[in-house]
Amino acid sequence: MVRGIFRYTSTDFAAMHSVGFNAATDGGVQDHGDIEAAAGITGMVWVDAYNNSTCVQTMSDSTIAGLVQANVNAGHRGLRYEVGDEPTANGCNAAPVYSHITQIVHGIDPTAKTWTADDQFQEGNPSLPGVPMKGSVDILAFDVYPCESGPCDYATIDSAVRQIHSAGVTNWEFILQDFSSSPWRWPSPAEVVAQFDHWKGKGAIGYWVYAWDYQGQQVTAQPGNLGALAEINSQ
């Protein structure tokens, strides 16, 4: 099972691995892929190919293909490719474009997987029926960040799970909140574990945590939270 961590500038992959993570954002020949692998971490290649404000593809087909080919040429087959971010956040009909990008990736490396973070169920976003991004990428990862100024709203996670099941999505993962940026606050260690417990056993094929070093905030400066991450990664 993938136990992934979002990262920005940190390259302390040994520390990430030491608390049980086996995957991290960014990788391949484009960004630290070999260093990650040496530390027991599989990198997920960033493909900044879609603008969720203008709702258009922002990388040419040939550029996307070249990015994948570079990894294949370096012996890195079967990687994950993170295409854009939160494509439905602003009401885009992104699925056809993502399906097209997935075809490009598979055309170069049939063993590769496309992936994106889907914030359809994030509290405050427009309510959408079903799962519009279903089938557009190989793996959808749903982010629900439930801890704002008051108690964490775990019911949002429970509602998301019901809708994911109702839509018949099978290859999906979830993303846990472990950061602070208004309106969100740092969850306590117990709240990190509670988030995981609401997703656990519901059919996900893996999960990610956001984030190791978002906006310069280091999760390593939250020793209790680091212990909570080690706890969930050990399960």
Give the per-residue pLDDT at 185. Answer: 96
Give the per-residue pLDDT at 124. Answer: 86
- pLDDT per residue as tens, the chain (235 positions): 999 999 999 999 999 999 999 999 999 999 999 999 999 999 999 999 999 999 999 999 999 999 999 999 999 999 999 999 999 989 999 999 999 999 999 999 999 999 999 999 998 888 889 999 999 999 999 999 999 999 999 999 999 999 999 999 999 999 999 999 999 999 999 999 999 999 999 999 999 999 999 999 999 999 899 999 999 999 9
* Residue 233, domain member (yes or no): no
Residue 102: what are its φ and ψ, rounded to 5°?
A: -60, -40
Instruction: Find, among 8, 52, 22, 41, the residue nearest to 218 by Cα.
Output: 8
Taking CA 123 as the corner, what is the angle to CA 121 and CA 129, rounded to the nearest 5 degrees? Answer: 40
Q: Give how far Cα 15 sits from Cα of 12, 75, 100, Å.
A: 6, 26, 37
* Residue 77, domain member (yes or no): yes
Give the per-residue pLDDT at 120. Answer: 96
H-helix or E-strand spanning residue 65:
helix 61-73
* Residue 78, domain member (yes or no): yes
* Residue 226, domain member (yes or no): no
Gap between the Cα atoms of 69 and 71, Å rounded: 5
* Residue 182, domain member (yes or no): no
Residue 210: what are its φ and ψ, rounded to 5°?
A: -115, 105
Gap between the Cα atoms of 209 and 207, Å rounded: 7
Gap between the Cα atoms of 150 and 203, Å rounded: 29
* Residue 147, domain member (yes or no): no
CB 183 within 8 A of CB 149: yes
Give the per-residue pLDDT at 127. Answer: 84
Angle separating helix axes 189-199 and 223-233, nearest 10 degrees: 20
* Residue 41, domain member (yes or no): yes
* Residue 66, domain member (yes or no): yes
Q: Which domain, by its residues, includes 88?
A: 2-140+158-177+189-216
The number of folded domains in the chain is: 1
For residue 122, what is the domain's CATH number? 3.20.20.80
